[in-house]
Amino acid sequence: MDGANAASAGSPSRTNALAIRIASVVVLLPLIIAGVWWPPTTVLLAGVATSLAIGELFAMFRHGGYQPRLAEGLTIGWLICAATFFQPLTTIDLMLAAMFVAIIGTLITEIARRNRQTSLLSWALTLAGAYYVGGLLSSYLLLRQLEQPLQGGWLAFAHIPPGAAWVFFTLAITWLQDTGAFFVGRAFGRTKMAPTLSPKKSWEGFAGGMAAAIATALFCVPLLGLPITLGEAVILGVVAGIFGPLGDLAESLIKRQVGVKDSGFIIPGHGGILDRIDSILFTGPVVYYLVVIFLQ
């Protein structure tokens, strides 16, 4: 997105594309905020996003000539979300149980098939794809479950739940990192970061994204009243600045392997759901475990 050789910023095509991207964000942002605010709607939002993203991922696999099992993949994705959501209610390790069920269940379904010529590869792609999306995305349900009280903040009047504040924080530093990389790379990008996987990404854009992630993290501490120091906020910003682009490149690797440009077309100007969440899939788990360490 942050290409050095892209068309000029003033060209009609780029202006229209940018307007479509902004309009999509304006429409989706209130839905995301509302979905994250209450735990039941958060798990519903995660379940919908998981379903759509797994559907797009498996469609890409099929485009590449592979045969993932969509029904099994969706079931695993939903199972992971449910296990994460209900984990606080029991001492049983539901995520471990979900993994056992996923592995055993998918192997049993392959045994039951008459045509087992592609069973091994199909089983591996089904399991890996479901955990790539559902497993990583479930980190936002874990963030939503954090309950340590906030420390006032400029938005204290809104009574944002602590867990929701951490989800908003992680989404903000990830997506604004991507935005910073896009604009800085478009204006100053010269040195390609990963010419084979993502020719339009540049190191200049990466630097701009890193600066945006750190600035956003620092701004969110007083804005949301997050119970961390500014130094810890910088660390989280750096993490987002590194793992966000890596998540993007990971999806680019998959798309290159199967020969597609976008995972889908559900979000105008952004491509598919997977194209929009590829970065947050990587930042969510890392931010969650760092926050847990910082809050101890």
User: pLDDT tens digits, residue range 177-216?
Assistant: 999 999 999 999 999 999 888 888 999 999 999 999 999 9
Whether residue 175 sits in one domain with residue 280: yes
Could you tell me the end-to-end alpha-carbon distance of the chain, in angstroms, rounded to an integer? 38
The radius of gyration computed from the CA coordinates of the chain, to the nearest angstrom, equals 20
Whether 43 and 68 share a structural domain: yes
pLDDT at 21: 62
Dist CA 126 CA 76 (whole Å): 9
Please report how the helices 119-130 and 39-63 are oriented relative to each other, as an axis angle in degrees rounded to 10.
150
Residue 254: closest CA among 206, 178, 198: 198
* Phi and psi angles of residue 75, each rounded to the nearest 5 degrees, phi first: -60, -45
pTM: 0.89
- Whether 226 and 128 map to the same domain: the answer is no
Looking at the fold, whether 28 and 158 belong to one and the same domain comes out as: yes
Give the pLDDT of residue 16: 64
- pLDDT averaged over the chain? 90
Q: Which domain holds residue 48?
A: 39-145
pLDDT of residue 49: 94
Question: Would you state the structure tokens that stand for residue 131, as one six-digit string?
Answer: 């955990």
User: What percent of the chain has pLDDT above 90?
Assistant: 78
Query: Are 159 and 216 contained in the same domain?
Result: yes
257 and 122 share one domain: no
Q: How distant, in Å, are the alpha carbons of 148, 161, 225, 255 from that of 155?
A: 17, 11, 8, 40
Residue 161 and residue 21 in one domain: yes
Q: What is the Cα 85 distance to its own chain's centre?
A: 18
Q: Are residues 237 and 95 in the same domain?
A: no
Helix (H) or strand (E) holding 207: helix 203-224
**Calpha distance 123→138 (Å, rounded):** 21
